[in-house]
Structure formats: structure tokens, C-alpha cells
Amino acid sequence: MNENIFSKIVNNKIKSKIVYRDKYVTAFNDINPKCPVHIIIVPNIYIKNLNYINKSNILLLGKMLFIASKLAKKNNIDKSGYRIIINCNKNSGQEINYLHLHILGGCYLGKIINLK
């Protein structure tokens, strides 16, 4: 479901609030934020989910985390804390079939075990 939405955002075919972009990754605000800060980071190349990465993607994944840490600082949630989530397939609740990382912060997230 909705597997092309993030491709369309990366390719500027639909509007979103882009907060960072470079040659490798694009970051934008989640349309339905679960916290005051809820940013999605995607690679600019299509990868369905974490099950589809290979060795050539290792630097790209590092880049996604590096940019996540920079955006956390920029949004002043580095000290208060934040959570990075990468969902994969049905049991995680993955909705969009395009590898993406969530940065959630600016609110108390609770223990991960309490996530519903």
C-alpha cells in the first residue's frame, strides 16, 4: 500500500515539507506527526525495506543515521532525547513500502516495551 508516496516526495512529484536533502537522502516532516518533532529520512534510491539492503548500502544507512543526529540537534531534541524507528513489514506496522527512518522527539516517548 502507498509504496510510491515516498518516491514521489523524493522526486518532487508531491508536496511535503522537506527539511534536508543531499545527493543520498531526503528528510521531510511526517504528514501525521506522533510527536512535536516527527521527521522521516529516506534514501534517494528506492529500497523496499531493511530486508532488501546489501553491502553497497552500508554507507547509505550510516548517512541516514548521521543526518538523523544532525536533525535532532537542529530541532533541539538531542538533549531531551529522541527515538529512531525503522519499521519492517507487517508486524512492525510498516505502512509505506520504501525504506525510511523516523525521528521522534519533543515529547516523552515512554519505554519501548509500552509501545502500542
Q: Which of 18, 31, 45, 58 is in the footprint of ligand 5GP by CB under 6 A?
A: 31
What residues from 37 to 96 belong to the interface with ligand 5GP (CB under 6 A)? 40, 87, 93-96
Cell numbers that stand for 18 in this block? 522537506
Q: Is 16 in the site for ligand 5GP (CB under 6 A)?
A: yes
- What's the sign of the alpha-carbon dihedral 24, 27, 32, 35? positive
Distance CA 74, CA 51 (A): 30
Q: Which of 4, 7, 20, 30 is in the footprint of ligand 5GP by CB under 6 A?
A: 30
Q: How far is the CB of 78 from ligand 5GP (least distance, A)?
A: 21
Which C-beta is closer to ligand 5GP: that of 55 or that of 104? 104
Distance CA 93, CA 103 (A): 16
Which C-beta is closer to ligand 5GP: that of 39 or that of 55? 39
Q: Which residues are annotated as catalytic?
A: 100
Distance CA 2, CA 103 (A): 20
Helix (H) / strand (E) containing 21: strand 18-21
Site residues for ligand 5GP per CB under 6 A:
5, 16, 28-32, 40, 87, 93-96
